[in-house]
Structure 1
Amino acid sequence: MKTVRQLLYGEIIRAVVFVAFGFLALFLFFDLVDELQALSRHAAQGYQLQHALLFIALKTPDHIYELLPISVLIGSIFVMARLAQSSEFTILRTGGLEPWMALSSLLKLGLVFVAITFFFGDYAAPWAERQAQQIKAPFQGQLTTGQTGAWLREKQGQQQYAVNVRRFDGISKMQDVRIHAFNEKGQLLTITTARQAQIQAGQWELLEVEEKSILLPSATNPAQFSVTQLDRQSWSTGISTDMVAAALLSPDRMSTWELFRYMRHLSANNQNAQRYEIEFWRKVFYPLSCLVMLVLALPFAYLHFRSGQIAGHVFAGVLAGISFSLLNNVFSFIGNLQNWQPLLTSAAPALIYSAVSLAAFWWMVLRR
């Protein structure tokens, strides 16, 4: 059995790596075409070809994360179909390789692909994304959304804060920041405006600060208003860089842990976290799709091929991989619009394809 595993694992790994590199080269070419436009647009700010090439290279981990399940499906289908055509898999079956043994062997290899996908999605891709932002931020200006920027909320003790960030460089520096403080009754207490701000561990460092304080009226004293000018001020907060970036950008570039923290932050401040909960569970289930892809590819080893039929089945694998990605995105958008349960919304594509692959395995392998 050890020899059989070495044969299957070696063939599948080589095929998956080959397919992944082919798709990666195609994606990087598209990135290069896009960056050539950015190169001409930001040339006056000093954005040069070496910056563009380094920026493209740092997008590689994210592409690998997106492509790995599809590459596993296509590569494993090619290997299984080729082994079936050459009758090698028939020889293995004659030698005692039962269907459940073949399935368990593929699932063990799938766990390796799951770990690799999780590593790229949770560690390599977010780190590379931050490095890419550091390269491009000095040339492309600040990130913003709409006319009012991004709004965030936070509750600290008896006070609540509504924070507005107009521009953000994607790393740690912000511009035109406003912090509104309210008491437990929702009455406005202070408005703090900062021309610039920098996110640090557990606090924001505000620069060129103007603080407007409102002393609420009482039975004896009317409401009073005061303005204080400060060069620098620290504000303790749990709002991190990734939370600000998530408010301005898509959450799919956040790690699983950061998405979980941001979900908890939104829920603690009575904000809708549906979109981020769906993305969180997508990040959890997406690496597991490698197991589904291997199960989907196994029945191809039990087919009978004539010469020239492998290309057609590999093409079917490409269509299946594309349809899985499309279904994953469609369920995400519809679940967000229809307010579906995030866990079921994110798990549905994997469950559907698991059911299809197990049904194909039962029909083509066990029943026949």
Structure 2
Amino acid sequence: MKTIRRLIYTEVLRAVGFVALAFLALFFFFDLVDALGDVNRGAAAGYHVGYALLYTALQIPNHLYELLPIAALIGTIFVMARLAASSEFTILRTSGLGPLRALGTLLLLGVGFVIVTFLFGDYVAPTANRAAQNLQARFLGDITVGRTGAWLKERQADRNYSVNVGALTSDGTLNHVRIFEFSNADGRPLSTTKAARGRLGADGWQLQEVERRTFEQASAPDPRVAVARLERWTWPTELSQDMVAAALLSPDRMQTVDLFQYINHLEGNAQSAQRYEIEFWRKVFYPLSCLVMMVLALPFAYLHFRAGNITGYVFIGVLVGISFFLLNNVFGYVGNLRNWQPWLAAAAPGIIYSVLSLGAFGWLVLRQ
């Protein structure tokens, strides 16, 4: 069995590597064309083609994370179909490679793909994405989202704060900070703070060029507003730079631990965390889709043909992989709109394709 396992693993790894490289080369070309459009815009700041190439290269880990299950499916289908067409798999079956043993062999290889996918999605890709965003922020503008930036919320004793950060620079500076302070007792506004920029310190946010408006005697018919302009002001808070970055970054580019901590922060401040919970469970279940793809590819080894066109079966694998990728994204959006259970919205595509793959395995293999 060691010889058979070595044969299958070598062929599958070679085919999956080739498919992954082909997809990455295609995406690298598209990303490079898109990045070259920023060269003229950032030429005055020193942004040139070399930085565009570096930015495009930093997108590769995230693409590999997204494409590895699809590449595993296509590569394994190609190997299984080729072994069936050359009757090699028939010889392997007569040598003792039964259906369950073949399934176990592929699942063991799938575990390796699961580990690689998890490592790239949770460590390599987020680190590379932060480096890419810092590179663009250095030459093309600060990290921001939408027109108003990111909104955060925090509760402190008898106070409630709504915080808006316009942008985050590559060196960690917060730009266009606005802080709205409310009373927890009756919800009345207590103060507003505007700052041109700020940084995170040991005692809180160190804000500069600050304008504070404090509402005094808010319950009186004619409340007073006290205005103070300060060069520096410290706001004590537990909001960290990671939380600000989490609000500004797309959740699919975050680490699982960062997502979990940010979800706890949102729930602790009575904010909706549905979107981030779905993305958290997608981070958990997506690497496991490599196992589903292995099971889905195995029945191709039991198709009865000798000199057929393998390209057609590989094309089927491409369609299945693309449909899984699309369904995985669609269920995330639908689950967020319909307020589904986050784990169900994230796990549904994997469950559907697991049932299909096991059904195909049972029909083509076990009934023969």
State the TM bucket, normalised to the shorter chain: over 0.9
TM-score, structure 1 normalization:
0.94
Q: Does 1:83 align with 2:55?
A: no
Q: Distance in 1 between matches of 2:271 and 2:151?
A: 11
Match of 1:30 in 2: 30
Structure 1: distance between partners of 2:202 and 2:90: 60
- Cα offset, 1:300, TM superposition: 0.7
The alpha carbon displacement at 1:68 in A equals 0.4
**Mean CA deviation greater in 118-127 or 260-269:** 260-269
Is 1:190 aligned with 2:191?
yes
Range moving further from structure 2, 82-91 or 114-123: 82-91
* 2:217 is the alignment partner of 1:208: no
Deviation string, structure 1 residues 287-311 (Cα, Å, up to 9, x no partner): 0000000000011111122324211
Q: In the superposition, relative to structure 1, how do residues 53 and 188 fare at CA in structure 2: closer, same or farther (>3 Å)?
A: same
CA separation of 1:238 and 1:100: change in aligned 2, threshold 3 A: farther
Instruction: Give the number of equivalent residue pairs.
Output: 367
String of CA shifts for 1:111-154, please: whole Å, max 9, x gaps.
11111101111100110011112211122112444443322111
| Shift of residue 28, structure 1, vs aligned partner | 0.3
Give how far 1:217 is off: 5.8
Q: Distance in 1 between matches of 2:241 and 2:12?
A: 40
Label 1:367 to 1:284 Cα distance change in 2 as closer, same or farther (>3 A): same
Does structure 1 residue 149 correspond to structure 2 residue 152?
no
Q: Which amino acid aligns with 1:68?
A: L
Structure-2 separation of matches of 1:238 and 1:114: 35
Contact persistence 1:194–1:207 (CA under 8 A): yes
| 1:346 matched residue in structure 2 | 346
Describe how 1:18-57 pairs up with structure 2 within 5 A. 18-57=18-57
Letter in 2 for 1:183: S
- Report SS of the residue matched to 2:11: helix
Written as runs of structure 1 = structure 2, the 5 A alignment for 1:96-115 is 96-115=96-115
Alignment of 1:98-177 (within 5 A): 98-169=98-169, 172-177=172-177
For 2:211, give the aligned amino acid.
E
- Can you give the 5+ residue segments of structure 1 that lack an aligned partner in the other structure? none
Match of 1:234 in 2: 234
Q: 1:88 to 1:269 in 2, by over 3 A?
A: same
Q: Is the partner of 1:270 in helix, strand or coil?
A: coil
* Contact 2:274/2:336, CA 8 A, preserved across alignment: yes
RMSD value, Cα: 2.0
Q: Distance in 1 between matches of 2:88 and 2:196?
A: 70
Is the contact between residue 209 and residue 232 of structure 1 (CA under 8 Å) also seen in structure 2? yes
SS at match of 1:306: coil
Measured in 2, the distance between the counterparts of 1:132 and 1:146 equals 19
| Structure 1 residues 92 and 328, CA gap change in structure 2 (3 angstroms) | same
Q: Partner of 2:311 in structure 1?
A: 311
Cα 1:331–1:111 change in 2 (3 A) is same
Instruction: Tell me the percent identity.
Output: 60
Q: TM-score, normalised by structure 2?
A: 0.94
Where structure 2 has 5 or more consecutive residues not aligned to the other structure, the ranges are none
Matches within 5 A, 1:353-364: 353-364=353-364
